[in-house]
Amino acid sequence: MDEQALIDAARRGDVGSFNQLVLSYQSMAYNVAYRILGDRDAAADATQEAFLSAFQAIGKFRGGSFKAWVLRIVTNACYDQLRLKQRRPTASLDVLLVSEPAPIRPLTDPDESPEEHALRQELSKVIQVGIGTLPTEQRITLILSDIQGFSYQEIAAISGVSLGTVKSRLSRARGKLRDFLMEQGELLPSQYRLKIE
């Protein structure tokens, strides 16, 4: 069944059809949520909440990119999680950002050696900390562009901002993350350090 047929069935209240759409997009949604929130549990909560919201609001979906529509709901759910965290802080935000993130379970690459896998894990942690230092809007733009590979137009549609704003946010986010990674220097695995030509 193609995507549009599944969407139509979901509009009629068919949970099974909607769940097929969920299976298609849950990995992307969870990864985006994790990179925005930097916390696995919060990312899982935001993802689940986003799909529930999407099912209840699917009647309002007016066509276009369903993926972009779902991601918009996911980013909104992440904003809610961040607000919740601010209202009920279990620890200060700074502590969360500089503390070591929870172990990440990346999808395993069969060609990757255990050593490479460990290095990649280490790099992933440092980058996640760096992403966490960015303002939320810049963080989301960077994640959608450089991790998820969305175009400027798609990011503008997901974020509900202009193309110029996307470019500006992305430029600032990249510059800040670059500066952060250069400051880390020795913390990064040698082959991943930013090298000056």
Binding-site ranges for another protein (CB under 8 A)? 15, 18-19, 22-23, 26-27, 29-31, 34, 40, 44, 47-48, 51-52, 55-56, 104-107, 109, 120, 123-124, 127, 142, 145-147, 149, 152, 167-168, 170-171, 174-175, 177-178, 181-182, 192, 194-197
Smallest distance from another protein to CB 143, Å: 8
Q: Based on CB atoms, which residue is closest to another protein, 5 or 15?
A: 15
Sign of CA dihedral 29, 18, 46, 78: positive
At residue 24, φ and ψ (nearest 5 deg) are -70, -35
Q: Based on CB atoms, which residue is closest to another protein, 60 or 105?
A: 105
Smallest distance from another protein to CB 119, Å: 11
Buried b (16+ CB within 10 A) or exposed e, 131-151: bbebeebbbbbbbbbeebebe
**DSSP structure class, residue 160:** T
Smallest distance from another protein to CB 146, Å: 4
Q: Based on CB atoms, which residue is closest to another protein, 5 or 117?
A: 117
Tokens 């440092």 appear where?
126
Smallest distance from another protein to CB 100, Å: 16
What is the Cα–Cα distance from 177 to 17, expressed in whole angstroms? 40
Q: Based on CB atoms, which residue is closest to another protein, 44 or 97?
A: 44
Q: Based on CB atoms, which residue is closest to another protein, 98 or 104?
A: 104
> How many Cβ atoms are within 10 Å of 50's Cβ, its own excluded?
27
| Joined tokens for residue 1 | 């069944």
Smallest distance from another protein to CB 2, Å: 19
What is the Cα–Cα distance from 11 to 8, expressed in whole angstroms? 5
